Amino acid sequence: MKKLFLTASVAGILLFNSCSTVPLTGRSRFDLVSNDQVLPMAFQAYSTFLTENKTTVLPASNAQALKVKTVGSRLITAVKSYMNSNNYGNLIADYQWEVNVVQNNEKNAWCMPGGKIVVYTGILPVTQDDAGLATVMGHEIAHAIAGHSAERMSQEMVAQGIGAAAGVALSKNPKTQSIFNTLYGVGTPVAMLKFSRNQELEADRLGLIFMAMAGYNPQNATAFWNRMSAASAGAQKPAEFLSTHPSDATRITQIQKYLPEAQQYYKK
């Protein structure tokens, strides 16, 4: 009983001292790791992923890769503008943006902390056009900007009894690197650690703003999610991109609520 009380006390102290606010939305979050700790893990994991998939990474001259990289470049420019104009530029100062396309039938895409982006070709028939692609990529970039990976890692570290201290290189700890790799499916089944539905909706909201600033009409987002739902209909399990996301009806309802805000950032 005494041991249980001490464990609960330590957890309570950690929770109290490790709460922060998502600067873009004001949501309170549990944040045990900093950019200085998580970015080296992201860069290492991304490098490992590209090495493991080097035969399927499309060259920059490929038409599909060129399309994705072009949309990605516009979104990155928009994100930098948004962050700098809202005095959050320091949060992405150490980002090393990179976009790659992988030949894979899976309907998936992701963005690691530090701006490391991957889009699978399997999702391109569903995105159909630049606006659909911007919907997906804006959403994934928003996960990174909002610090969702660090938040998810913090929760998993507490669950596994792993501590963190300022200045400690978490990438040198096999357990923490494993947690990060599992989050992004590097050498493991894809995305075993899931983002919460609140995080998903938060990424939807921010993603709409980013795509609008990049010159893509955010109203096209609902069409993409309808196509994504139809593409996954009848499958034994949903596409990985949808597996932990809110229900289609919930997502589209929320997106419609977010659209007036995002529309203010849209210029043709």
Query: Which amino acids are annotated catalytic?
Result: 140
Kindly tell me the burial class for residue 210, based on how many C-beta atoms sit within 10 Å of its own C-beta (0-12, 13-18, 19 or more). Answer: buried
Residue 84 CB coordination number (10 Å): 13
Residue 197 neighbours by CB under 8 Å, 6+ apart:
244, 245, 246
- Compute CA 235 distance to the chain's CA centroid, rounded to the nearest angstrom: 24
Angle between the N-to-C axes of helices 197-213 and 130-145, in degrees from 0 to 180, rounded to the nearest 10: 120
- Compute CA 89 distance to the chain's CA centroid, rounded to the nearest angstrom: 18
CA distance 67 to 268: 19
Q: Where are the alpha helices (DSSP H) in the chain?
A: 2-17, 35-52, 63-85, 124-127, 130-145, 148-159, 174-184, 197-213, 221-232, 248-263
Q: Find, among 114, 142, 90, the residue nearest to 255 by Cα.
A: 142
Q: Is 100 helix (H, G, I), strand (E, B) or coil?
A: strand
What is the Cβ-side half-sphere exposure of residue 232, based on CA atoms within 13 angstroms?
20
CA distance 205 to 198: 11
